[in-house]
């Protein structure tokens, strides 16, 4: 898949592992937010910070492990996720104040990433229509969170958890095509 490998020689096993680890982190984070919505927002921010650091670290490992094949977007996304994750862990109040905006933007970015993956599948001749539809749903979900946070933080935390769960589960679809 071109999202992770631009040139021939990228290990299919490595790509599958990266996709699986990313999906697992998102599913775990989503389930935690859904199951514990009344927890403090500081706890939710801490979970988000840890998820970002883990996601960023996995992206960086993937980039450096496949340096010649990986896209520079993988490096940029990894560095940004680690930096933002560390900021969130150090100052969770910043995220709490901007929780709807941060969540919506992150979900939109994940949706755009999934759109790129679906388009790569199309170019490769794989099954791409369902991943593309799911990616568009992800972008729409992120926009809804960004522009209409439904007035309550508990609902927003559950919605963010559902979105992370959705992104994680739909992130497994490319594994079916590999």
* CA dist., res. 114 & res. 109, Å (int): 9
- Report residue 1's pLDDT band, with 50, 70 and 90 as the boundaries: very low
pLDDT at 79 over 70: yes
* Arithmetic mean of pLDDT over the chain: 83
pLDDT at residue 131 in the model: 93
In this predicted model, what pLDDT tens digit does every residue of 100-150 receive, in sequence order?
Answer: 777 788 899 999 999 999 998 899 888 899 999 999 999 998 888 788 765
Q: Do 50 and 86 touch, CB atoms closer than 8 A? A: no
Mean pLDDT within 15-44: 83
pLDDT at residue 40 in the model: 61
Other Cβ atoms within 10 Å of 8 Cβ, number: 6
* CA dist., res. 12 & res. 4, Å (int): 10
* Selection from 10, 15, 80, 86 nearest residue 46 by Cα: 86
Mean pLDDT within 28-35: 87
């Amino acid at each position: 898949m071109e999202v992770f490998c631009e040139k021939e020689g990228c290990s299919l096993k490595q790509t599958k592992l990266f996709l699986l680890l990313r999906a697992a982190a998102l599913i775990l984070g989503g389930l935690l937010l859904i199951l514990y919505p009344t927890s403090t927002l500081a706890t939710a921010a801490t979970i988000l910070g840890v998820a970002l650091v883990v996601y960023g670290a996995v992206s960086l490992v993937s980039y450096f492990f496949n340096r010649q094949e990986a896209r520079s977007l993988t490096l940029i996304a990894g560095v940004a996720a680690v930096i933002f994750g560390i900021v969130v862990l150090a100052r969770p109040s910043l995220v709490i104040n901007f929780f709807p905006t941060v969540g919506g933007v992150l979900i939109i970015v994940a949706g755009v990433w999934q759109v790129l993956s679906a388009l790569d599948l199309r170019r490769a001749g794989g099954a791409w229509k369902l991943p593309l539809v799911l990616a568009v749903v992800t972008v729409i979900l992120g926009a809804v969170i960004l522009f209409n946070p439904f007035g309550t933080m508990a609902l927003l935390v559950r919605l963010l958890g559902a979105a992370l769960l959705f992104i994680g589960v739909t992130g497994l679809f490319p594994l079916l095509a590999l």
